[in-house]
Structure 1
Amino acid sequence: MEKENFKKLLKKADFNKRTFSEYLGLKYQSVNSWGNNGRNVPYWVESWLNLYIDNKKCKQIKEILKDSGICK
């Protein structure tokens, strides 16, 4: 994954590099180096962030439906 795509997905997930590293229990220095000096963003990060974002959206929809009385 390209560095810019990583930054966009982090923002979409409401993470920055520090909060992302803390959430996953990774060293900030490692996460911060991804995409720099030839260091690639690990292959699993893109799918993880996409699933996190999708899950967040599903939770928001569920809350809206619950609040509206449509879903209990």
Structure 2
Amino acid sequence: MTNEEFKQLLKKAGLNKKEFAKVANISYNTIRNWNNVPSWVMPFIQNYIKAKTLDNVKDVVCDEVKSSNITSDKSSPVGEKDE
């Protein structure tokens, strides 16, 4: 992976180099000094993007479930059945 591809992938992930260093638990200076980006970086960032996407989906689903529970709670108190 070239440095330009690395920058583009970081952009897609919504990260800058300092944020990536923190997420990857490596020194920012190490990243700055990369002439060749290590092979582990691409799958790491791709998995970061997938995890971030899944977290967003989970949040939407949980919000929807909470919202529907609130709506159904108003129409039928807990423990009581509609007749």
Q: What TM-score, normalized to structure 1?
A: 0.79
Distance 1:69 1:23 in 2: 30
Partner of 1:47: 43
Match runs of 1:18-37 below 5 Å:
18-34=18-34
Classify the secondary structure of the residue corresponding to 2:37: coil
Structure 1 counterpart of 2:6, which letter?
A: F
Three-state SS of the structure 2 residue aligned to 1:69 is helix
Give the aligned partner of residue 15 of structure 1. 15
SS at match of 1:40: coil
Percent sequence identity over matched residues? Answer: 36
Equivalenced residue count is 66
For the residue of structure 2 that corresponds to 1:65, the secondary structure is helix
Tell me by how many angstroms 1:33 deviates. Answer: 2.1
How much is the aligned-residue C-alpha RMSD, in angstroms?
A: 1.6
Off by >3 Å, runs of 4+ in structure 1? none
Give the Cα separation in 2 of the matches to 1:67 and 1:25.
Answer: 31
Q: What 5-or-longer segments of structure 2 have no aligned partner?
A: 67-83
The structure whose Rg is larger is 2
- Tell me the CA shift for residue 25 of structure 1: 2.4
Q: Give the drift of 1:6.
A: 0.6
Offset at residue 51 of structure 1 (A): 0.3
Aligned amino acid, residue 51 of structure 1:
N
